Amino acid sequence: MLYIACPWCGPREEPEFVCGGATDPAERTGGTVYGRHGELWLHRYGCRRWFVLERDTARGTVHGARAVGDGEGGR
Amino acid sequence: MVTFSFLTLAREALRGHAGWPRQWRRAEPRRRYKVVIVGGGAHGLATAYYLAREHGITDVAVLEKGWLGGGNTARNTTIVRSNYLNPESIALYDHALDLWPGLARELNYNVMFSPRGLLTLALSPEDARQGVRRIHANRLAGVDAEWLTAREAHRRCPLLRIDHPRWPVEGAALQRRAGVARHDAVAWAYARAASALGVDVVEHCPGRAVRTANGRVTGVETARGVIDADAVALVTAGHTAALAATAGVGVPLEMRPLQAFVSEPVKPALDCVVMAPRLDVYVSQSDKGELVFGLPVDGYPSFVPQGSFGIIERAVTGALALFPALSRLRLLRIWGGTVDLTPDRSPIIGATPVAGLYLGCGWGTGGFKATPAAGRVLAHALATGAAHPLAEPFGLERFSTGTLIDERAAAAVAH
């Protein structure tokens, strides 16, 4: 169970969130980064805001959430 | 290799089975091979076998970073089927389904292939519309597929509840030739047969990087030294992207954890595979008696083979809605792996922009069923330098040309 600190709501349990994929467009052509990278997450059953979560895909650890920066996370 | 036969089994039984040799030679990696296959799962081993058997190329090494077949080969839910939607996919998976029945005899090893049939349930009118469309697509491609009413599905599978108030069975697609096989046995069978033909099967030899010069592959850097090769195939599922990157080749593989679980063993209760895409679960019963539950991938990218419990809970809810009789079963074991998903959920097979470097990856959650075909077509590419007709649509270049084989919705289970 991941505990994710929504930047607005604080730490909440994983089922409240949905992952929107990696923020780095290079991962779409080069594959998932092994190690730390940024992901877009939605606090679906909470404040319903999108934010960027830094996670380590090799260790499974979470390293902090922040608001989405300008020009970041475009699809 | 000592052939398994009634005579040798009887002879060895009288000797307390003391005379069986190792099933494959414990080979020390040499300095150079014609072909190096990085990845000793079922796909890599099958590729090596067909290289030796069908193309006479035996100067081959299979390098496995851990123990043979210890990756996704050991962790899948053993389903074998070919009921995809796109004709290119149907052709490839159905070729595998044509090879499965003869595999045990060809490899002289019991892979326990059991064509017990696959029921894919429609649990809403929309499911039924999609299901009927799919069986017609299958039949147009010459593949067996039938549509059953709920009653007929229940007759085929008496354990199934067809009148759940929220998820009533509206109908079911049946593929009779589909079934299950013993995943470990497939790896061992190919390893033993390939080794007997002269292939070096090397365990505990992680590949670190692909070596290239002037746009051509020259070999592989491993934890046990450099091995030179004329051709290198990366058949390493989730590690393929990182390895290919060392040769400057980008492979669009998204890594997701995938879980599965089994119940305690019970007497035979379910004699076909049942898939319920709407409920994110599928079930079969192993020959050991355990009910095997398959799930969709977890929700975020990860190399850690561990997923969230929410997916397990949803799967159990769905399974019990379909099979109320299972409610008192104990879960015995839950495990995970990591699967490499491509943007169109179809595999990547064949050549790369680097001459002599080949890929067999991106099989996502559905590689096991394709094992014999995956090995055959990749061996063809390695041996001839040209794509096998069945593999041609699945080249890496399709992500540049846009000729994707979209199986995201069509693959019958949430990929």
Provide ipTM, 2 decimals: 0.94
B283-328: per-residue pLDDT in tens? Answer: 999 999 999 999 999 999 999 998 999 999 999 999 999 999 999 9
Among chain B residues, the shortest Cα distance to A14 is held by B308
Q: Calculate helix-pair angle for B42-55, B371-384, nearest 10 degrees.
A: 50
Q: Which residue of A has its CA nearest to B396?
A: A29
For B242-269, what is the mean pLDDT? 96
Residue A42, Cβ density class (10 Å: 0-12 exposed, 13-18 middle, ≥19 buried): middle
Q: Reply yes or no on whether the pLDDT at A24 is more than 80.
A: yes
Q: Residues of A with CB below 8 A from B241's CB?
A: 30-32
Provide the whole-model pTM. 0.95
Q: Please give the pLDDT value at position B411.
A: 54
Contact between A52 and A36 (Cβ < 8 Å)? no
Task: Say if B251 is an interface residue toward chain A (CB within 8 Å).
Answer: yes
Taking CA atoms, what residue in B is nearest to A59?
Answer: B304
Question: What mean pLDDT do residues A46-73 have?
Answer: 92
Phi-psi domain of A49 (left: phi exceeds 0; alpha: psi -120 through 50; beta: other): beta
DSSP category for residue B302: -
Q: Provide the pLDDT for residue A71.
A: 76
Q: Contact B304/A60, CB-based, under 8 Å?
A: yes
**Per the CB < 8 Å rule, is B301 touching A58?**
no
Q: Is residue B214 pLDDT above 70, yes or no?
A: yes
Per the CB < 8 A criterion, the answer to whether B370 and B376 are in contact is no
- What is the model's pLDDT at position B1? 81
Chain B: closest CA distance from residue A56 (Å): 8
And the tokens for A14? 């994983």
DSSP code of B92?
H
**pLDDT for the residue numbered B410:** 57
State pLDDT tens for residues B140-172: 999 999 999 999 999 999 999 999 999 999 999
Kindly report the average pLDDT of chain B as a whole number: 96
How long a stretch of residues is chain B?
Answer: 415
- Asked if residues B250 and A31 have their Cβ atoms less than 8 Å apart, the reply is yes
Evaluate if residue B237 carries a pLDDT over 70.
yes
Q: CB-based burial of residue B200 (10 Å sphere; 0-12 exposed, 13-18 middle, 19+ buried)?
A: buried
Would you place residue B415 in the very low, low, confident or very high pLDDT band (cuts 50, 70, 90)? very low
Mean pLDDT score of chain A, rounded to an integer?
92
Residues of chain A contacting B340 with CB distance shorter than 8 Å:
31
Predicted local confidence at residue B413, as pLDDT: 59
Q: Do B251 and A31 touch (CB under 8 A)?
A: yes
b or e along B331-370 (b: 16 or more beta carbons within 10 Å of the residue's beta carbon)? eeeeebbbbbbbbbbbbbbbbbebebbbbbbbbbbbbbbb
pLDDT recorded at residue B130: 93
Ranges of H-type helices in chain A: 27-30
